[in-house]
Amino acid sequence: MSYRDFVQSAENRRRYWARSAAGWSRVRDARPNAGHLALARLETRGLISGVITQNVDRLHHAAGSRRVIELHGALADVRCLDCGRTEARNQLQHRMDQANPGWAAARSVAEAAPDGDAELAAAAVSGFVVPACLACGGTLKPDVVFFGENVPVPRVEAAMQMVDQAEVLLVAGSSLAVFSGFRFTQRAAGRGMPIAIINQGKTRADDMARILIDSRTGYALPRLADLLETDWQHGAGDETIPRKEPARGQE
C-alpha cells in the first residue's frame, strides 16, 4: 500500500490494519537466521562497523547486532500521524483484539502473506474496528516507510556517515532495486571504496562491485565470518578482503 492511499482513505487503513492484525504473529515470532547471527558475530569482533538494513523485522537486533540503522523503520513500532506519539505494535495488537471480539475465528483461517500481513475475506475486513491513538485519538500508522514516502533525512545522513567511516561496503541479500539502498553503493563507489556483494541473482550495483558472490546470505555470511575471524585471529589486518576482479558464483 502506498503512503498516499493509506493517509487518504479510512477504508484503506481498515484493510491494512485488519490484514496486519491477522499476520502480525508471523513477524513477532520470527527468529534470526544464520546470516543475521554471522553479522552480529562480526560486529562483536570489531570486523564490521554496523548494519544499514532495508528490512523492517528487527531481526538484526534479535541476533545481537548493536549498531543498526533501520532505513525503512520497524513494524514493531506504531506512530500517530497527528501527534507523533509512538506505541509498541504488541500493545496495539492487544487493543485490536479487544476492539474486535469474536474476530479471532476469521484470523485463524487467514493465509499468511510475506509482508507480515494476511489474506482476508472482504467480510472480515469490513467489520474491523481500528483503534485510535491513545494520546490524541489520531490516526495510527506502522512506523515504516511506505511506497511513495521519503526516508527521514537524519536517518539517511546517519547511514551515509556510517558508509564514509568504513573501509569496505558489503551488500548482503539485496538486489538494490530500491534507490534508498542503492544510494549507498553510489556513495561508496564515488569514494573509491571496495564493494562486495552477496546476493542470489543480479543487483543494480554489479558493475560497481569488486567481489560478486551469487549465494544465499544464510549460506555465505557464516562462511565469510569464519574466514574473517580466522584472519583476525592471525592478524591479517587490511588484507582480510582479497583484492580481485568480480567473480560470480563463488560459494
Residue 16 belongs to domain with CATH number: 3.30.1600
pLDDT digits (tens, 9 = 90+) for 166-220: 999 999 999 999 999 999 999 999 999 999 999 999 999 999 999 999 999 999 9
**Predicted confidence (pLDDT) at residue 238 exceeds the cutoff of 70:** no
Contacts of 52 (CB under 8 A, 6+ apart): 69, 71, 159, 162, 163, 181, 184
Angle, CA of 68, 207 and 200, to the nearest 5°: 60
Q: Are residues 85 and 55 in the same domain?
A: no
- Please give the pLDDT value at position 101: 87
Question: Which cell numbers in the block locate residue 69?
Answer: 540503522
Which residue numbers are catalytic?
A: 72
Question: Does 172 reside within a domain?
Answer: yes
Average pLDDT, the chain: 89
Question: Does 248 reside within a domain?
Answer: no
Burial class of residue 207 (count of CB atoms within 10 Å of its CB; 0-12, 13-18, 19+): exposed
**Predicted confidence (pLDDT) at residue 240 exceeds the cutoff of 50:** no
Question: Does 247 reside within a domain?
Answer: no
- Please give the pLDDT value at position 234: 63
Q: Are residues 12 and 103 in the same domain?
A: yes
Q: Are residues 190 and 176 in the same domain?
A: yes
The residue out of 112, 144, 176 marking a domain boundary is: 144
Helix 179-190 vs helix 153-164: crossing angle, to nearest 10 = 30
* Total count of domains within the chain: 2
Question: Does 11 reside within a domain?
Answer: yes
Comparing 76-90, 200-214, 228-242, which segment has the lowest mean pLDDT? Answer: 228-242
Q: Where are the alpha helices (DSSP H) in 134-200?
A: 153-164, 179-190
Q: What is the DSSP letter of 239?
A: G
Q: pLDDT band at residue 232, thresholds of 50, 70 and 90?
A: low
Question: Does 245 reside within a domain?
Answer: no
Q: How far apart are CA 50 and CA 72, in angstroms?
A: 16
Q: What percentage of the chain exceeds 90 in pLDDT? A: 76
Q: Are residues 105 and 204 in the same domain?
A: no
**Predicted confidence (pLDDT) at residue 250 exceeds the cutoff of 80:** no
Return phi, psi of residue 110, to 5°: -70, 145
Could you list the residue range(s) of the whole structural domain that residue 43 is in? 34-73+150-239
Q: Are residues 154 and 131 in the same domain?
A: no
Question: Which cell numbers in the block locate residue 121?
Answer: 475475506
Contacts of 231 (CB under 8 A, 6+ apart): 239, 240
Q: Are residues 25 and 113 in the same domain?
A: yes
Q: Are residues 219 and 164 in the same domain?
A: yes
Q: CB–CB of 140/130 below 8 Å? A: yes
